[in-house]
Amino acid sequence: MNRLKSASLITAMKTPFSQTGEIDLAIYDHLVEQQILAGVDGIIVGGTTGEGHLFSWEEHLMLIAHSVNKFSDRLVIIGNTGSNNTREAIKASENAFATGMDAALHVNPYYGRTSIAGVREHFNRVFDIGPAFVYNVPGRTGQDITPDIIEPLSKHENFIGVKECSGNERIAHYEKQGIACWSGNDDQCFDGRHKFGSHGVISVTSNIIPGFMRKLMDENDAELNERLKGLMGWLFCEPNPIAISTALMMTGAVSANFRLPYMALSKEQRQEGFDLLSKLSSKDIIGSSLSLLNDEDFNYTS
């Protein structure tokens, strides 16, 4: 638990795909190695950024097991085994913990939703399987996990903390009670860390500039934070992970293959990102070279 709570920079890993839409493990391994070189503490496998919601459970568990086998000696491995189906979340968590992952990431039941009592019981059941983070992202689930729900849940022995997307005031409220919180919003994570006392960030942006995100967590460098705000904002110009996937394709870090329903940013949006990335040194960006790419360069698979 101490190792998990000391992880201040956790990357929500991008999953690369081949031309036929399969998970490209060779490129994935290279991406993770770049994260390790930059000093990242842990990774989320198959989260929203990693497009786990587009995986079969077989793919999902394979990628978690692969990550454990290759990287668990150097990184905290957190598997996204959450579901809006409690039975499914339990089974996935049992299988993923059997592969050796360090912790699970769990979201509250989305779309169909449930009562507050149902949310509490859902989390208690999945916490019984092993150490877990709660992911509160009301913009995607349609339901805020409020302090009156989190505070009793935090007493469970397998509760690690919260990836919180409801702002720094909420994070400060939890941290004052000893409830560990990680920012789920990259553009707020610097203030969250240095002004509001967060444990760190679970980051999308660190896929492409992990070294800078490491500095933002370790150093009170407001100038660097200000310099990166434009890029952070651009990475969320469309629902995540569209922009980060497009960006990594533009830098040559991953092949230009999308699984539908995701599609590349428009050329105008790519130009904006190109201009922002061009202001940074190539040594600070994941990838071999920066290009705008043409619309026909992108491949789409179902």
Buried b (16+ CB within 10 A) or exposed e, 141-164: bebebebebbeebbeeeebbbbbb
CA–CA gap between residue 293 and residue 267 (Å, rounded): 8
CA–CA gap between residue 212 and residue 255 (Å, rounded): 24
Alpha carbon of residue 122 to chain centroid: 22
**What's the DSSP call for residue 263?**
-
Q: 53 φ, ψ to 5°?
A: -70, -10
Asked if 18 and 145 touch (Cβ cutoff 8 Å), the reply is: no
Asked if 120 and 147 touch (Cβ cutoff 8 Å), the reply is: no
CA–CA gap between residue 214 and residue 60 (Å, rounded): 27
Active site residues: 135, 163
CA–CA gap between residue 105 and residue 144 (Å, rounded): 16
Question: Helices (H), strands (E): how many in the chain?
Answer: 13, 10
Angle (CA) 86-80-167 rounded to 5° is 95
